Structure 1
């Protein structure tokens, strides 16, 4: 049987072995992303809520293509926490590599494709830059903007 990944982030959404992975991702309207200090606490005022449907779709698409890695894992503290409605994922990201982990299954990781990692990394970098400029964020909530598509 072919395993399906659910389209985010983180994200979530994701692989059949994850809780809630068969839920329709087309109904996910927002993604919350936090910068993390460690597995249990986020950086103060780091929440970014993404509501732009194209950006949400890009995150979900990247998460849905993630490949399950075999074996038990021991990971460093995550860079991000991604909330997709009732699912939460941890995210480790660089320019060419990305890894996600369901917060309810911390013994399993999923590797993002190189293109998905690049897309999500560029998105987060753009969001951080625009948050600093306060151009497309209102109260740290992403609104539809040509800068973010």
Structure 2
């Protein structure tokens, strides 16, 4: 009987942790940028497919923080994911993001995530 109690507790804990992930985010808005402050007119693409939203959320969550203060060129994209907004520089080999609330820190996407996000952006 004690094993059954443990299984129930573990399953319940996984349910609680799983409920607070990308499932809460239903849409990702991506804009092409002309500069840090100017969005390219008519460039909004909204992603609502849960699988695509999950790709963005996972890629951004798993991005690796880079050390030091940075000075970046004009961003290619701006991505709005839930309550957060990021600038995005992307190609098939790499991706870099910067949270608009912290313009002194960048994060690097994994090569695999960068390719997935790049492919999503290019196919639209």
TM over 0.5: yes
TM-score calculated relative to the size of structure 2? 0.82
Match of 2:85 in 1: 88
Higher RCO (Cα < 8 Å, 6 or more apart)? 1
Q: Which is higher, the Rg of structure 1 or of structure 2?
A: 2
TM-score calculated relative to the size of structure 1? 0.68
Q: Secondary structure at the match of 2:34?
A: coil
2:37 to 34, 37, 40: 40
Correspondence 1:26 to 2:20: no
1:52 to 43, 49, 70: 49
Higher helix share: 2
Structure 2 unaligned residues grouped into runs of 5+: 1-19
Correspondence 1:118 to 2:122: no
CA positional deviation for 1:77: 0.5
Equivalent residues, number: 105
Cα RMSD of the aligned pairs, angstroms, is 1.0
Q: Secondary structure at the match of 2:69?
A: coil
Could you list the runs of 4 or more consecutive aligned residues of structure 1 that deviate by over 3 angstroms after TM superposition? none
